[in-house]
């Protein structure tokens, strides 16, 4: 499984499937919002957690179709299905690779990009913490959506339509926890809800994604 993880990381870097693309998109969103909203510092500071969360969510969405599609096209997915590794383990490793290439860089970059939106100093910690807890759920849910659409040509739009509604709870609780924490209010409730979504996604969705892959490979 470690060899599969290293392979996916190398393929993602070579194919431009996440690291640079996601960060570039995140930077563009964080840069354009002040131009569209205006230079008012109070307004930017108030909306910064939500905008950063939306930008991170959309950046994660960009590379979801590459999780299984490249392996499906070159036949590697059929070989992985016959390997001694359970299909659920393969799904988990691929979701982990997506998070390491996309979710983790976005989490590390978010506090720096928050400075562009006049995010208050406590907010830097909270946006980092909420993205660190929430982005694994985005990758796992995205892997499930990618498994459902792996056999479809040009399934990127359908993948987005399937995954975006499932992303909304994580977005709501993540942005709310970051907003409350930045304002000095108790943020334990939305933070625990988001952690529960992440834990549930990691525990349940590999089995659902593996079942979808088996159906598509028949």
Position 200 pLDDT exceeds 60: yes
Q: Please report, for the chain, how many H helices and E strands are present, in that order.
A: 10, 0
Mean pLDDT, rounded, of the chain = 87
Q: How many CB atoms lie within 10 A of CB 82?
A: 8
Domain count, the chain: 1
pLDDT tens digit string along 53-89?
A: 999 999 988 888 778 877 777 777 777 777 788 889 9
Most confident stretch, 2-16, 22-36, 184-198 = 184-198
Phi/psi of residue 98, nearest 5 degrees? -65, -40
Confidence of residue 23 (pLDDT cuts 50, 70, 90): confident
63 Cβ contact list (under 8 Å, min separation 6) = 12, 17, 18, 21, 22, 98, 101, 102
Query: What percent of the chain has a predicted confidence (pLDDT) above 90?
Result: 41
- Its domain, for residue 102, covers 2-216
pLDDT of 22? 82
Q: pLDDT by residue (tens digit) across 100-114?
A: 988 999 999 999 988
Distance CA 8, CA 100 (A): 10
Q: Which helix (H) or strand (E) holds 28?
A: helix 19-37
pTM of the complete model: 0.90
pLDDT by residue (tens digit) across 121-152? 889 999 999 999 999 999 999 999 988 888 77
């Amino acid at each position: 499984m470690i060899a599969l993880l290293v392979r996916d990381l190398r393929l993602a870097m070579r194919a431009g499937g996440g690291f640079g693309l996601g960060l570039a998109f995140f930077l563009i969103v964080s840069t354009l919002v002040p131009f569209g909203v205006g230079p008012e510092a109070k307004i930017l500071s108030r909306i910064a957690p939500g905008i950063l969360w939306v930008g991170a969510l959309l950046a994660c969405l960009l590379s979801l179709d590459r999780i299984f599609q490249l392996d499906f096209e070159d036949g590697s997915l059929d070989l992985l299905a016959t390997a001694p590794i359970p299909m659920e383990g393969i799904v988990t490793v691929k979701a982990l690779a997506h998070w390491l290439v996309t979710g983790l860089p976005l989490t590390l970059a978010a506090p720096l990009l928050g400075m562009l939106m006049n995010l208050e100093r406590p907010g830097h910690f909270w946006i980092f913490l909420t993205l660190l807890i929430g982005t694994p759920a985005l990758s796992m849910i995205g892997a499930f959506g990618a498994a459902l659409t792996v056999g479809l040509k040009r399934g990127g739009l359908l993948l987005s339509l399937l995954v975006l509604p499932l992303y909304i709870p994580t977005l709501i609780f993540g942005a709310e926890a970051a907003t409350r924490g930045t304002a000095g209010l108790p943020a334990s409730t939305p933070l625990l809800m988001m952690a529960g979504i992440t834990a549930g996604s990691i525990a349940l969705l590999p089995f659902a994604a593996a079942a979808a892959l088996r159906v598509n490979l028949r």
